[in-house]
């Protein structure tokens, strides 16, 4: 069965630190990959997505992610975090059939001013 | 930009009652999903729906849950006999045929008392 793993459950960083959140998936076929952010008390907001082409994807708010097919990974990065980046981050994967659209367990990011 | 709309935004019900959560997906989308998120926890996949039938469902989606697309526009989730542990935010999503154009609704917060 397809699954999505986010190994970092809770990350605490100081402002201006660099961020990398891990996401790995298990699925044998072609997938489309997403990162979502959820600010406290709010709904999911799309940060970026990958479906083909350049494996380095740039999203909103200075975030980027790199798809490494050989590692089944799609890690999220940001060179310099801000206090306002404090939120929950979810990786998601859609199978090439569209039937399976699963989320990882989420990573809680706290940025200390 | 088109939106997925969910109604109601908040529903309070008594244990054992039936509830119907409504979603209006993007009109030309093909795939539809329901998720739930218990407060502060992960986004849990419930069910995916394609071509007027369930294409995938999780262990959570037991006999007390059902989905319908009764009129070609609405996409409903019914919980027949609610339990306290059904209290959560329920999100609907729709996906276009390209498998990258995903839109989420703002969710229905269900409170079971």
Neighbours of B66 (CB within 10 A): 14
Residue A2 has pLDDT above 80, yes or no: no
**Angle at CA of residue B34, ends B61 and B26, nearest 5°:** 150
Residue A1 has pLDDT above 70, yes or no: no
d(C-alpha A55, C-alpha A38), whole Å: 24
- Mean pLDDT, residues A27-31 taken together: 86
B interface with A, Cβ–Cβ below 8 Å: 30-31, 33, 35, 41-45, 48, 50, 55-56, 91, 93, 95, 98-100, 102, 104-107
- Mean pLDDT, residues A7-13 taken together: 94
Q: Is A62 helix (H, G, I), strand (E, B) or coil?
A: helix
Provide, as residue numbers in chain A, all residues whose Cβ is less than 8 Å from the Cβ of B1.
Answer: none
Q: Given an 8 Å threshold on Cβ–Cβ distance, is B102 in contact with A94? A: yes
* Bridge-based pairing state of the strands B19-24 and B5-7: antiparallel
Nearest to B105 by CA among B30, B9, B13: B9
pLDDT in tens, A37-76: 999 888 899 999 999 999 999 999 999 999 999 999 999 9
DSSP class of residue B74 equals: -
d(C-alpha A60, C-alpha A36), whole Å: 11
Tokens standing for A82? 């801000």
Q: Is A84 helix (H, G, I), strand (E, B) or coil?
A: helix
CB B104 within 8 A of CB B44: no
Q: Which residue of A has its CA nearest to B103?
A: A46
d(C-alpha A37, C-alpha A41), whole Å: 12
pLDDT tens-place values along chain B, 113 residues long:
679 999 999 999 999 999 999 999 998 899 999 999 998 899 999 999 998 899 999 999 999 999 999 887 899 999 999 999 999 999 999 998 888 889 999 999 999 99
d(C-alpha B73, C-alpha B80), whole Å: 22
Q: What contacts B58, CB < 8 A, 6 or more positions away? A: B44, B45, B46, B47
Q: What contacts A1, CB < 8 A, 6 or more positions away? A: none
Tokens standing for A55? 């494996």
- Mean pLDDT, residues A77-84 taken together: 98
């Amino acid at each position: 069965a397809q699954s999505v793993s986010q190994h970092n459950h809770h990350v605490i960083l100081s402002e201006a630190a660099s961020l990398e959140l891990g996401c790995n998936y298990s699925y044998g076929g072609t997938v489309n990959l997403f990162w979502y952010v959820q600010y406290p008390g709010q709904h999911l907001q799309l940060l970026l997505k990958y479906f083909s082409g350049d494996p380095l994807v740039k999203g909103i708010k200075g975030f980027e992610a790199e798809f490494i097919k050989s590692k089944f990974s799609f890690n999220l990065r940001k060179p310099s975090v801000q206090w306002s980046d404090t939120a929950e981050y979810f990786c998601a994967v859609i199978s090439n059939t569209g039937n399976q659209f699963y989320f990882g367990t989420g990573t809680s990011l706290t940025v200390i001013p | 930009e088109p939106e997925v709309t969910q109604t109601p935004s908040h529903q309070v019900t008594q244990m054992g009652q039936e509830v119907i959560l409504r979603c209006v997906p993007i009109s030309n989308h093909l795939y539809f999903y329901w998720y739930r998120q218990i407060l502060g926890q992960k986004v849990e996949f419930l069910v995916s729906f394609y071509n007027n039938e369930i294409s995938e469902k999780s262990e959570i989606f037991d006999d007390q849950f059902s989905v319908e697309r009764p009129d070609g526009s609405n996409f409903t989730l019914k919980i027949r006999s609610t339990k306290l542990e059904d209290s959560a935010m329920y999100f609907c999503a729709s996906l276009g045929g390209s498998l990258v154009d995903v839109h989420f609704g703002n969710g229905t917060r269900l409170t079971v008392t």
